[in-house]
Amino acid sequence: MLQLYIGNKNYSSWSMRPWVLLRQAGIPFEEVLVPFGQSTAEGSPFRRALAPVTPVGQVPVLVHDGLAVWDTLAIAEYVAETFAQHGLWPADAKARARARSVCAEMHAGFRALRSHCPMNIEASLPEVGRIVWRDQAEVRADVARIVAMWTDLLQAHGGPLLFGGFTIADAYFAPVCMRLRTYGLPVPAAVQAYVERVTALPGVAAWIAGALAERTFVDFDEPYRAAR
């Protein structure tokens, strides 16, 4: 049985990606929630809880037959190889290369969007989104790139998801969909429709339900509110 160590569902965008991937693909796994608490620094309860399974002290971590795999992209690749029958990357070689490229782009980029619009599924912060959109040119640039990417892929593959059917790429961009919703960032109708389709995926809907059920308030993940 796979074990997936995750952080708080309301906040942990990196944890969301492999959790949604496994759940949407129908691959059984045991969830191990390691709450952030009020600190994730060295020596914190969060770090101590992860110490037996990963040397980096971060979530997510996948454990399978005694092997620990950390880093979201490494987990996705491991799952795709181990459960190849699920076709988690596109079957076409060129499409598969493009899917890996856009996932890697997300993995390394969009820092302004991630910084100024941290994932917070429970909150509705359109007023914050309007200020961020007005004042942060780099956020506008990040969203423009996402819009261009998604539009191109949806047109190239005919939808309803980025590469037609569900792939790792959709799991990888699910937290971006959550950010666009929370902050009400302006996107074209076709992109908004994709966001709604991703939100309705059973795996994503299950994650959202878990996030809404949480009652924890983590101040360092909530720069725009004093309480939940």
CATH number of the domain at 35, please: 3.40.30.10
Query: Are residues 107 and 200 both part of a single domain?
Result: yes
What gap in Å lies between CA 81 and CA 50, rounded to an integer? Answer: 25
Residue 219 within a domain: no
| Per-residue confidence (pLDDT) for residue 127, from 0 to 100 | 97
CA proximity to 6, closest of 39, 26, 31 = 31
Enclosing domain of residue 137: 93-209
Taken as a whole, the chain contains a residue count of: 228
Phi/psi-derived region of residue 37, left when phi > 0, alpha when psi is between -120 and 50, beta in every other case: left
| Per-residue confidence (pLDDT) for residue 223, from 0 to 100 | 85
| Per-residue confidence (pLDDT) for residue 40, from 0 to 100 | 87
* Low-confidence spans in the chain with pLDDT less than 70: none
| Per-residue confidence (pLDDT) for residue 137, from 0 to 100 | 98
Query: Are residues 98 and 204 both part of a single domain?
Result: yes
Residue 97 within a domain: yes
